[in-house]
Amino acid sequence: MKEKKSVWDNLEEYLLVFLIGVITLLVLIGFVLQFVNKDLVAGMNQLSFYAYTWLVFLGVSVAVKRNSHMRIDILFAMYPEGVKKVISALIEVLMAIFSIVLAVLSVQRMFQVIAAGEMNAVIAVPVSILYVAPAVGFVLSVIRYFERLLKGRKG
């Protein structure tokens, strides 16, 4: 029987699909506008850049959730099963700590940029929207690491 998943379980994926659609639409509009009004093309490029930035940092959280970050599997093949589990647990803890550090630093930077109130010159959109993306992505990554650690203990 299929297990029903909540919105939280697939939150990042839903946002990624939406952002891919937005980026595709913005690039298409930019392509059409280059024949109509070349001044508007820069604005479409900037908006697609904003969406792409969000896509990248939300993708970090998806990679954490699915345990699909880059790793060297050949090193694991050399060790027995018990050692593999210890190494995996150590890597999980180190990556969680690294994500916590990045989350804290990105949240601090986000508040600095928000306080500055800088606007994008081309599209008149706050630059802080770009700096919220890494903060959200890394905070979601930390949450996903803790979820995996809790599931690992329960399992």
Kindly list the domain boundaries of the chain, sorted by start residue: 8-154
Q: What is the pLDDT along the chain (155 residues), one digit of tens a residue?
A: 456 677 777 888 899 999 999 999 999 999 998 888 887 888 899 999 999 999 999 999 998 888 777 766 777 778 888 888 888 888 888 888 999 999 999 999 999 999 999 998 888 889 999 999 999 999 999 998 888 878 765 55
User: Cβ distance 44 to 29 under 8 Å?
Assistant: yes
Tokens in use for 142? 């930390």
- pTM (2 d.p.): 0.81
Tokens in use for 52? 């792409």
Residue 147 burial (CB count, 10 A): 14
* pLDDT on residue 90: 85
Angle at 9 between CA 133 and CA 20, to 5 degrees: 45
* pLDDT on residue 2: 58
User: Cβ distance 145 to 64 under 8 Å?
Assistant: yes
Task: Give the 3-state secondary structure of the chain.
Answer: CCCCCCCHHHHHHHHHHHHHHHHHHHHHHHHHHHHHCHHHHHHHHHHHHHHHHHHHHHHHHHHHHCCCCCCCHHHHHCCCHHHHHHHHHHHHHHHHHHHHHHHHHHHHHHHHHHHHCCECCCCCCECHHHHHHHHHHHHHHHHHHHHHHHHHHHC
* pLDDT on residue 3: 61
Tokens in use for 57? 């940092």
